[in-house]
Structure 1
Amino acid sequence: MTEQALTSRTTSHTPEHPPAARPDGDGRTGLPVRLADVEAAQRTLQGVIALTPVEQSRALGRLTGSSVSLKCENLQRAGSFKVRGAYNRMAKLTEAERSLGVVAASAGNHAQGVAVAAAKLGISARIYMPLGVALPKLAATRGHGAEVVLHGHTVDEALAEAKRYADAKGAVFVHPFDNVDVVAGQGTIGLEILEQVPEVDTILMGVGGGGLLAGVAVAVKARARELGREIRIIGVQAENAAAYPPSLAADALVPLTKVSTIADGIAVGSPGQLPFSIIRELVDDVMTVSEDSLARALIFLLERSKMVVEPAGAVGVAALLDGKLTEGGRDPGNTVVVLSGGNIDPMLMLKVIQRGLAAAGRYLVVRMLLDDRPGSLATISRIIAESDANVTGVDHTRVGGSISMGDVAITINMETKGEEHCEQVLGNLRAEGFQPVVIRG
């Protein structure tokens, strides 16, 4: 669990002190963020952020039967969309607040977004990160000029220390999602999409605490009403970190008891109160994807789009690859998927690539028991070679609870060519009397 317990500090726009209900684009009241806030944020961010490109994906288009484009926030400054909300929030601080500095807690994108925004605004930033934070993220945050303090073994522990520091020193705590100005800043992505792909029908993106999804929904739904059109907004969560579906069903925040996903950027155990109040009113659907689907999506983006994207940034592509938008013959129309970030630890990438290849049937790991006598391994090697698979690793042991005297356990890693080829290799091994067990994950 990462930043779900965060609480905002000071200033006029916080979850504890929300602004009064205001009319939105069609005269309704109750939403704490409106189109005018997002438009103001866009003006604030001019010259600060990059206008990230939109790239068409013909491969994804063929799968859905319609146009699919990728909004490449993985190419944004600091590698993710987070700088938008952080800068918009911090640009509104008074001179007195700026003089006291800002503080945040994060293991990744939020840390870098705050660091970049602070450097641009000339504000000192203190970022608490857990001791086990990935070295590239630690180096990048320091490289942007922030003071990094390593504390605790989890983000929750770093968060508690950051809040203690804020209370003691008077520094402004910068929340990653539960703040009006942060949500408005993230919503500028929606305005850019409407400018770059005016014919868009569906916008798909990942959701953790909900700041990005809420901000985009506010901007796009209001503009769509002005144009007399319908544009669907869909959020996607990793199924092992999916707090929004039960919360939306209960119409109340339902915290998760456990969060476990490779998509650390959206590994949030409870929705933000402010984003939730918007998402339940404006967002059309929140769906989930598996860890294997996430790994496949990263492989797809690397191979087909030449894009380095972190797991949290690839959840929308995972949903498309799973066919979730076309279930029941639905037509999503012109679709834009937000690739929200590209800050992936190379060590995690190695693991994800292997898992993604395995999920796609292109990497097979099997374990077998065989007689501990000369020639057994040679026979297995022959079968695999004749099956046109490539062995990349072999491990064997004579000890273990399930290994009898006279037996040896062997684990073989192979490169394969898809699910059908995997079944062929397994069938050929079984035909020769072996009993291969496929090792998953």
Structure 2
Amino acid sequence: MTITAYRGEILSLAHDPAEGEGAVRHDPDGLLVIEDGIVVARGPHADLAPRFPGLAPEAIKGLIVPGFIDAHVHYPQMDRVASHGEQLLDWLERHIFPAEMAFADPLHAASVARAFLDELLRHGTTSALVFATVHPGSVDAFMAEAQRRNLRMACGKVLMDLGPEGLRDTPETARDDSEALIRRWHLQGRLTYAVTPRFALTSSDAQLAVAGDLLEAHPQVLLHTHLAENTREVAEVAARFPDAADYLDAYDRFGLVTPRSVFAHGIHLPDRSCARLAETGAGIAVCPSSNFFLGSGMFDFAQAEAHGVRLGLGTDIGAGTSFSLLRTSGLAYEAGLFNHYRLDPFRALWLATGGSARLLHIADKVGNLSEGQEADFVVLDEKATPLLARRTAGAGLAERLFALQVLGDDRAIARTHVMGKCAWDRDQPGLPS
């Protein structure tokens, strides 16, 4: 039995602030007690310290928050971040599909997986829902590296039998490969499998049916795909599925809209789709960085909130331009304001932690640093840059948090802890992860 403790300012969200009062849990002088990687006590230091006589907590300078949870990101695309000149469909053809073909090589996949997970930890991200490629070995490489680091991650082989030559499977290999990967990785340690059709245009009806069969046969896996990201994409889906009521319905008819379904983007949705998402419990990973970068549009937070759609936050590397969920939170505010929605900084933190945890069905494990949860947390330094230090000096909690979201990035991540153990220390960058 190993007990560690940390004393400092602790902040988390118990639930989505849009769902009612009492969401913010803030301990200005808090104590976080961890036993074998699990939070066993958290609260005001003055109240908890007498329960643990002789315990000498480490004093933390900075704001302790739950580890960030990226609800949509592509690890094979990290080397194509900042690829110039195209919107979604042309960007995929020109930049992404050629890069993903290299993942037929397991050694290349393993090398990228290591670099990718290093970046996540450096940016304070401790859990993520991750696209691999069509190659089963790309999942093996990612899962093996995530397991080595004891990270809570979800990933799956991409299904795309209508993809380009050299990046294409079949309905039969999609089923067989996915079944084998589920047996190998699903619920092994802190890992979860995600059935991952790329999007409606890259899978035949037969393959979409296979995806639905996999979800039915394995009710604990996730469904991870894209939805209504780009206007040209939406038009082409409508042409491909003329009998579907809308883009979401094209998935729904194959059994892909479930409580465990995570749809990235959702920025061009009719009200019918939002109502159906809320009815089923499916949710949207909001990805403002990539939506800006590809010129796709702005997510409508007010529409989603009116329908009660579950939301999380994703960086969408490599169309997204930053691994930082702090920065992504600031961009979400900017996207919301475009449609006259003022995203509260506490709700933004919820989306990057507990909201994404709920989408990934791991909210009982991580997301709010409550007693019984796994001790994944981040220490934020609001003095990381001279400008941040000036902006946060003397400010209240909400103002400090908002400044971190708008002005912060990886420099504001002082430390990242996984199951209570330090996996990244800004002042000791050579620390093994």
| TM-score over 0.5 (shorter chain) | no
The two structures have a TM-score, normalised by structure 1, of: 0.27
Q: Which has the higher strand share?
A: 2
- Between the two structures, name the one with larger relative contact order (CA 8 Å, sep ≥ 6): 2
The two structures have a TM-score, normalised by structure 2, of: 0.27
